[in-house]
Amino acid sequence: MIVKVCGISDIEFIHRIDELKIDFIGFIFYQASKRYLGNNIPPEPIKSLPERLKKVGVFVNEKKENILHTVEKYQLDYMQLHGDEDPVFIQEISKNIRVIKAFRLSNSFDFSKLFDFEGLCAYYLFDTKDKLYGGTGKKFNWNMLKNYTANTPFLLSGGITASDAENINDIDHPMFAGVDINSGFETEPGKKDIQQIKLFINQLI
């Protein structure tokens, strides 16, 4: 199971990365976010992360040239698009880097619209719908996942905490690839509780 830790803006986490068995690490390049990377961590420590650890840049309705500049600056492996990006935009930009497309789910979410994105994304990410873009710290109804019938693997996000490990282990879906954790493991925005992350990972199958 993939474990992605997102919203990192604390250099201490980078220094302690070898303590954690995680697969993806996410940095937010959306200025309205409380976890905006900004100048909190310079490019060099991020570029020097172990090769096994995939670096993900999170963008919201950003221009292509700005995304590609950031990808090069930080040597990112994936871009996560968390806005209203359409299939045409993703088809064009995915020529340069692998894409994780985030979708914000409500009880009325129509999974059929995801078929327009098939073949364009390495992963989908399912998060909880809110008035604002980005993480909400809230869960959507995970029973909705049974309505997803496309063939792109997905990451589960939205309000996940260490106490959710058992329920995550019970998810039975052929396209379920892993989890994206963020605010449920924070001491403050951008700073993660490494012990809580370890506890969570140790409970996952």
Which amino acids are annotated catalytic?
6, 127
- Rounded to 5°, the CA angle 15-47-97 comes to 130
Please return the burial class of 143, using the count of CB atoms within 10 Å of its CB with bins 0-12, 13-18 and 19+: exposed
Two structure tokens written together for 157: 């996000």
β-strands 123-128, 154-156 pairing: parallel
Residue 11: in which H helix or E strand, if any?
helix 11-15
Cα dist. 75→6, 8, 13, 89, 189 in Å? Answer: 17, 16, 18, 21, 24
Is residue 118 within 8 Å of 152, Cβ to Cβ? yes
